[in-house]
Amino acid sequence: MKSLDGEVLIASQIAKNSGIMTKHISKVLSELKAHELVECINPEVRKGRLYRF
């Protein structure tokens, strides 16, 4: 898997790059965020949340 160190993406970009459905990516991102493995830069927005890896 390609390293995303410091890269900022939205869930749909990650889904497109990986070939995995966006709803699955969103669930995984939530779990990673809970374990402090990714950072959500703009948690106040509902659509288009930016994640830093």
Say if 33 falls within a structural domain. Answer: yes
| Helix/strand/coil for 52 | strand
Say if 47 falls within a structural domain. Answer: yes
Supply the mean pLDDT for the chain.
90
Say if 3 falls within a structural domain. Answer: no
- Cα angle value 38/2/16 (rounded, 5°): 80
Average pLDDT over residues 26-49: 94
What angle in degrees, to the nearest 10, is found between the helix axes of 22-34 and 11-18?
A: 120
Amino acid at site 24: H
Q: 39 and 49 in contact (C-beta within 8 Å)?
A: no
Give the pLDDT band (50/70/90) at residue 7: confident
Say if 44 falls within a structural domain. Answer: yes
Q: 8 and 41 in contact (C-beta within 8 Å)?
A: yes
Q: What is the pTM of this model?
A: 0.79
The domain in which residue 34 lies consists of: 8-52
Give the pLDDT band (50/70/90) at residue 4: low
**pLDDT of res. 6:** 77
Question: What is the count of structural domains for the chain?
Answer: 1
